Structure formats: structure tokens, C-alpha cells
Structure 1
Amino acid sequence: MDPTLKTRIISDLKDRLGNFPGRLRTASKYIVDHPSDFGLDSIRETARKVGVSTYTLVRLAERLGFSRYDDLREPFRHALVSASAGLDHPEWIERLKESGEFGQVQAGASMNALAIVHRSLELQTPEQFQRVVTMLLEARAVYITAVRASYSMAYYLHYVGRMALPTLQLIPRHMNSAIDELHSAGECDVMIAITFTPYSRETIEACKFARRKGLRLILISDSELVSPDLSADETIIVSVLSTHHFGCYAGSMAVLDTLIALLVAQGGEAAKARIKSYEDLRRENQVYWVAQKKR
């Protein structure tokens, strides 16, 4: 089977998404966002997850030029089997499974986290990361925004990343909105937005406002299709597929660590000097408080 067929189908779906009627659009977005599930599940299970009829999925296959639904799904099944063939369970996972019911739950959670990190890192290309890092280093100011659970990742990126990139600004600050913080931003600036399904209305509005002001936009999300009328300069896709009943962000944290490492590497001696100054400051502060306690 042509190994590029899955990629070409996804590209075709993205291009035609806006022209499809409601249910076909919903099914198309599901395939783009959940290619692994689509390759694994039966047509009935996929229809149940999407919330459409099996007939809708058959119609979508026909609209894409396939004679049968299975012909549309097969490239996704093939990619799924190929990707998982080289993955082995570590020995410590097997030991957990043998340690009783509690260990089995722990083993399942551990494998879930490992799979999400693996999928998320596998999606990244050096070409895109190079474009992103160049964009960030050349910007006058880099704004980072997120809300709810995603805010923790934005905070982490800002807290650690500013040692390599001092132009990073976390918004909103205090009780403001992200839009308030972008009042003086312009074409020389970049905004990083982090949002995962269900996508934050506040974050989407901030992204649209930033685009209207001419900022370049980097989106970190589980989908390129966050909003029909929103496009980013770069979209970094991470996996959040989880066996839990809550979102799992281990993959996004791994991708953020990679991005920070690349910023440090490209920042050269200046970035290393800033990191050392932060470490020296923390060490001096610790020595000060130890001395205070001895008084």
C-alpha cells in the first residue's frame, strides 16, 4: 500500500472541509483529529463516536473517490499497524501487571502516558520546529496564552522558556483578558496559543484578535481545525488520546520540553548565560535563607 495515502487523504479532507455539509464536515473533522481510532474502529463504532449514521460515513468515502468505506479506512489501519509494530512493553510494565489489581491499573496508566508521548513526539518534524524557533527568536515579543487546564502548560513554557527567550510574556496577567494584553502588540510580534478539545472560546477569540493586529500565530493543539475561520502560521499537533476519563497532557509537555531545548540550543552563549544567571540567583537566595535560619 502507498504509505503516503493516509497523509494525502487527511490533506484532502482539510482542503474540502469548508465545502462539506454539516454531518460530512463533522465526520471529516473526526478523521483528521482521530486517525488512529478511525483506523481501528468498525464503521458502527466510528459512527457512534462521531454522532452520525453509517450511511454518512459511506457517503463521505464516495465523496473522496472511494468505492467502499473500507477502502477509505484501510490506509489508516495500515499506518496504525506499521506504527505499533516496533513498540514493545518494557519489562517493568509486565512486572506491574503481575503485581495485582492495583498494579494492573498502574500499568495501564503508564502505557497510556508512554503511548501519548510517543505519538506526540513522532508527529514533530525538524523542518517545522526550525521554522517555529526562528519565528520566536526573531520576534520583538512572544505572547503565550491559554486557559483552564492548558494554562499550566503555558505557565511552564513561560517560566522555563524565558531563560532562553526573554521576550516571552504570559497573558493574561492578573485579572485582565488576553485581548487587553495585546493592545500594544503588532506585526513584529508572535503569539503562542495552547488549546485542546473542547477548545476554549476565550483562546480562539484572542487568536483571532491577534491575527487582526498582524501577529504571527503558533497554535499548540490536538487539531489543525480548532475553528473554521481561524488559521495559524504554524500548528504543532500533539496527541491527547487517553484511556482515562480525563485529558492527558504528557505528550504536550514532552513537545514543550523539546521546543525549549531547541530554543536553548539556537540561543547560543547568550541563552546559556541567562540560564546560569537564574541558577546563580536561586543558589544565592537559598544560601541567604539558610543563613537567616541559623541566626
Structure 2
Amino acid sequence: MKQTNVPNPATSAELLETLQSARADLTPELAKLANFLLENPYEIGVNSIRQLATKAEVKPNTLVRLSRSLGMDSYEAFREVFRDEIRQGRETYPDRARWLQSLAQRGEIGALYAASAESAIDNIVSFFASTDHHLIEVAAKDIVAARRCYVLGVGVNNAVARNFAYLAGMAIDGVRALPQGGTLPVDGIARADAGDILIAMTFRPYRREIVEAVAVARAQGVPVIAISDSLACPIMADAQHRFVVPTDTPQFFISTIALTAFFEVLIAFIIAEAGEDVVTSIDAYHAQRQALGIYVEDKDWQT
């Protein structure tokens, strides 16, 4: 692999972005290491070269070669960039379920409450600290300029997608949450093309139907805004916009707190980009609801 151009001094986000983009050109051994690092970026800052090589199941020299290919003088220089970004490894879903049960059995619900609060706060802080708001602004502009905007999420993410479509739909036309009814994710983008845009989200373990739908969208020339908890996620490759959103939680399912915050910011930027007419339209929308008596007035419940 030839040496890539990384800004100097590089940030961890820039290094990971470069690594993600360069994966296709790596040798199998380097690609194996790259996938491990993209999935476990915070392991880098806390491990020696031998420790990390053991975890990634590669030779220590592979870490040296990968570091130099990214423009770093050594693995230690590469590691230094990540030293302030330390987190615990991620358990599997069954492991977490068993742990939750053991907490309840030992009467440690208070500890679970504290851990939940800590992870929720950490996710929010991590997202806002690591995300460049200018990148969200550019994504918002592309959404406003698109003919239609599809937002795709399954499972718990489908509720997030529908909430975004509902709110963004007050500002711009053509926002559709997928999948709809009993359809498959890929069905909703059958007629999409380069004039549209697709927001897709999936988190570890990655959902096959999302990955397949994004592949179809790319083949049809549809720009993709990819959202996941790792740059190693398959939908991140060749996406027009990429956003890493932390979902850490001590509970069984992923946390959507930071994901919800991301979409709230995106909606705000969409409204700002769409112009004053949108604000007037939203005001008229709520005024009509008020006139129809949809909202409860103070006089309706006060005695």
C-alpha cells in the first residue's frame, strides 16, 4: 500500500477516515488489521504494539507497516493520537442480557441506573465533541436540494427514521421513512435515482437488509448519508456523507440518545437551509392545528 496523505497533525477521526477509504487497496493482512482498528478504535490508545497485535491476531510488524502507510513515523506516534479516546470493549447482546439478569438477582438495579446515566451522557458528549457541525450542514443542504429524501432504519431505528420524516416533512416535501407497511427496505427505493438522497442507519451487529438496500441505492446513483457506530460498517464505504454516532449502553439494545440528538441537529440545519418560507409554513401548520382545536387549551382543563 502506498503512503496516504493525512493532515499533519492528524486527528483520530482523520486517521480512521483515511483508513476506511484505503481498505480496498490493502493487502489481506493489513485489511484484517484495518477492520479490527475501525471496529475498536479506542483499543489503540491503551495497548502496546504487542498487545494490540495479539488482539487483532496479526504480527506486530503489521501495525508498524500500517502506521507508516498512514504517514506516521511509528506505531507509538499512531497510538499517541488515540490516547485520549479510551473506552471499554463492547459485549455481545447475549452477554449483556445475562449481565442484566445477574444485576437484578443481586439487587444491583441502582448500579444499572448509574451505568445507564453515565453511558447516556458519554454518548452525547462524545458525539458533539467528535462531530464537525459543518459536515452536518453540508448534508442538510444536500437533503434540501434533493427531489426526495428517504430515511431508512429497521428495528428500533425505524422509529427514529419515522420521527425524522415526520418533523423534516414540516419543512420540506418528499421525506419518506422506510420500510413502509409490510415492504422490504429495498422496495422503497426502487424508483430512486441521482436526484434523490438516502439516509441509512445500522449499528453493530449490522442488518443485512440495510446493507443490501444501500448497495442497490448506490447502483442506481443515489447519494447516501450513512450513519453507524463504526467506520467499518459496510454502508460507510463510498457514502456521500458519513457520521459515526456512539450507541454504548449497559443494556441489551443500543442506545439511541446520541442518534436522536444527531437527527435533531440535522432537522434544525434543514430548516435553516430551507429559508424563511419554511418557517412561515411551519407557523401556518401549527396555527391551523390551533384553529381546529387539536391542541388542549388551558381553559379546557382548568376549573
Q: TM-score category by the smaller chain?
A: 0.7 to 0.9
Question: Which has the larger share of helix?
Answer: 1
**Is 2:137 the counterpart of 1:134?**
no
The alpha-carbon deviation at position 128 of structure 1 amounts to: 1.3
2:81 is aligned with what amino acid?
P
Matched residues in 2 for 1:190 and 1:68: separation?
40
Q: Superposition RMSD on alpha carbons, in Å? A: 3.2
Which amino acid is the alignment partner of residue 185 of structure 2?
A
Look up the match of 2:81: 75
TM-score normalised over the length of structure 2 = 0.75
- Counterpart CA distance in 1 for 2:44 and 2:201 is 25
Determine the structure 2 residue equivalent to 1:56: 59
Correspondent of 2:271 among 258, 261, 264: 264
Q: 1:150 touches 1:196 (CA, 8 Å); kept in 2?
A: no
Q: Which residue is equivalent to 1:165?
A: 172
Q: Which residue of 2 aligns with 1:20?
A: 26
Is residue 40 of structure 1 aligned with residue 46 of structure 2?
A: yes
Q: How many residues align?
A: 268
1:182-237, CA deviations, whole angstroms, 9 ceiling, x for partnerless residues? 23222211111111122221111111111222211111222333228941111122
Of residues 112-121 and 4-13 in structure 1, the stretch that sits farther from structure 2 once superposed is 4-13
**Matched residue, 2:100:** none
| Unmatched 5+ stretches in structure 1 | 82-99, 289-295
1:174-189 equivalence runs, <5 A: 174-189=181-196
Give the whole-Å Cα distance in 1 for the aligned partners of 2:141 and 2:220: 21
Change (3 A) 1:60 1:212: same
Classify 1:9/1:219 alpha carbon distance in 2 versus 1 (closer, same or farther; 3 Å).
closer
In the alignment, is residue 208 of structure 1 matched against residue 220 of structure 2? Answer: no
> Conserved in 2, the CA contact under 8 Å of 1:58 and 1:69?
no
The Cα of 1:282 is off from its aligned counterpart by 4.2
CA deviations on 1:74-101 (whole Å, 9 max, x unpaired) are 3211x438xxxxxxxxxxxxxxxxxx96
SS of 2:224's equivalent? Answer: strand
Paired position in structure 1 for 2:89: none
Q: 1:44 to 1:107 in 2, by over 3 A?
A: farther
Quickly say closer, same or farther: Cα 1:228–1:279, change in 2 above 3 A. Answer: closer
State the match for 1:286 in structure 2: 294
Could you tell me whether the CA contact under 8 Å between 1:220 and 1:235 is conserved in 2? Answer: yes
Distance 1:74 1:194 in 2: 31
Contact 1:123/1:238, CA 8 A, preserved across alignment = no
Partner of residue 112, structure 1 = 119
Amino acid at match of 2:16: I
Structure 2 spans left out of the alignment, 5+ residues: 1-7, 87-106, 297-303
For residues 295 and 16 of structure 2, the distance between their equivalents in structure 1, rounded to whole angstroms, comes to 56
The residue number in structure 2 matching 1:217 is 224
